[in-house]
Amino acid sequence: MLISLDMTGEEPLYLQLRNAIVLAIGSKSLQEGEGLPSVRQLAEDLGINAMTVNKAYTLLKDQGFIEIDRRQGAKVMVTREAYPHFPERWQEQFTLLIAEGHARGLGREELLEMYETLCNNLFEKGGTD
């Protein structure tokens, strides 16, 4: 899992990190049960503070993407119970993005093509799923 952060952009570091990990899980390049680096290790690798990594991990835990064991560290474990807002909140955001694309001139077919292209790009990064 290669993660690079944009230190100059406006997106918070902990969010960039959270998103990178969600992308990795979604593309199966991080698999269920797989362990994540320790907060200190990852912080050192990325050149950021350990508490910033901890913030990302805690967020991922609260959103049901990982579990954290004080002994072994964090590992991928997607659970539905931890995040009951799915799929309602997700659908809202999804609909909003579709609306944005359509408003900007993408027709139904173009939207569908775009969707499929993005899906393919995402899935070919990971394993055979």
Q: Which residues are near DNA by CB under 7 A?
A: 10, 12-15, 36, 38-41, 48-52, 54-55, 57-58, 61, 68-71, 73-74
Q: Cα torsion for 70, 75, 24, 1, to the nearest 10°?
A: 80
Nearer residue to DNA within complex by CB, 34 or 101: 34
Backbone angles phi, psi at 113, to 5 degrees: -60, -45
Backbone angles phi, psi at 97, to 5 degrees: -70, -40
Answer whether 63's CB lies under 8 Å from 83's CB: yes
Nearer residue to a copy of itself within complex by CB, 51 or 96: 96
Least separation, in Å, of the C-beta of 34 and DNA? Answer: 13
Contact between 87 and a copy of itself by CB under 8 A: the answer reads yes
Contact between 70 and a copy of itself by CB under 8 A: the answer reads no
Distance CA 113, CA 94 (A): 16
Least separation, in Å, of the C-beta of 50 and DNA? Answer: 6
Site size toward a copy of itself (CB under 8 A) is: 37
